[in-house]
Amino acid sequence: MEQLFTILESHYEEMVSIRRFLHENPELSFQEIHTPNYIANYHRKLGLEVREGVGGRGVVATLKGAKPGKTVALRADFDALAIQEQNDIPYKSKVDGVMHACGHDGHTATLLVLAKALVAMKDELQGNIVFIHQFAEEIAPGGAKPMIEDGCLDGVDVIFGTHLWAPAPLGDVLVRNGAIMAAADRLEVTIQGKGGHGAEPHHSVDSILVASQFITQLQTVVSRRIDPLKSAVVSIGHFEAINPFNVIAEKVELKGTVRTFDEQVRTQIENEIELLLKSVCEGFHATYEYAFTRGYPPVVNHKKETQFLADVACQISEVHNVIECSPLMVGEDFSYYLEKVPGTFFITGAKDPAWKDAYPHHHAQFNFDESAMLIAAKTLGLATLKYLKQSKK
């Protein structure tokens, strides 16, 4: 195991260089062209079997050990976000309006260099390792599901993945048995009123007023209709009525997100929102259109694999704390992998100790401590080697 750590440490600067190159050259979900090509070429130079275009734009590389055994899959995502970067750093994004604001550049760099380290140990491997590089995690329907349908998990016995997490201190590894991330659904509402002069509201149906009443009452769905012992979030992030200042708006468009962990709660919220919307609109003589689009299911870790990963993390000197964390309301399509094979998804703390506060993920000034990549690589790598060693076919 020390050999793995030594190799990773010797290639840490390469890991940083890869991350910064990817950070400078981000590509949006479902528009990734150069990134998967870069990943595939890197793995080919290592001598691995490589499949491109998996599920669309995914890349899968396979390392076959010298000895027979089980198969471990490791996954990293590589898409960026439609955000204009505001960081003043030497490796700032070169693509206008596009930025790696969630750490996917770091995930990719981590997995590529880990692959290099494990290739160097090929003769000692008792089994196989599948490196899954996934496109389009940020936007549902995401890349995981089509990659699975295209065979990326064929023959896989277990899967491990991690997310570099800027809000968590460097040196912390966060694990959780069961649901660690929420289902992420989307709601879209159009409220149709009757436009008119702002001075004569009695001749109109004010769609802005109706929408405002709906949004205000929307929070009662969680506070008064859902079991308080079960978690849920309903948030409206988009409110649009394109209209002159002195005209009552005829139409309002709303978009938002719903986060849950329980399938029954998920269905109940979907139905409760429409019941509320219908009653509000009827009360104001407005009409509506409603769409509830189910996104990623919750990320539900498996008990045995989660405990295994926690035990592995405790053996890494740079890991100061292994913490059982509370569930996070963010969504992740790693959930689809865990529906197919056993595994666990954990959080690698990436907050620079010198920072008082870290900018959140999806912020224009998001960044992370790059040494977290080395911790992630050691954790994933050690978990892989230990699993293969103790799990002979």
Binding residues for Mn(2+): 102, 104, 138, 163, 362
Helix (H, G, I), strand (E, B) or coil at 381: helix
The set of catalytic residues is 79, 137
CB 81 within 8 A of CB 101: yes
Distance CA 161, CA 345 (A): 5
Q: Which two tokens stand for residue 273?
A: 């929102």
CB 82 within 8 A of CB 97: yes
Q: Strand ranges (DSSP E) for 33-182?
A: 49-54, 58-64, 67-77, 126-134, 158-169, 172-175, 178-181
Contacts of 34-42 with CB under 8 Å at 24 or more apart are: 35/78, 35/79, 35/108, 36/78, 36/133, 36/135, 39/78, 39/108, 39/112, 39/133, 42/112, 42/115
The total of other beta-carbon atoms located within 10 Å of residue 31's CB is 13
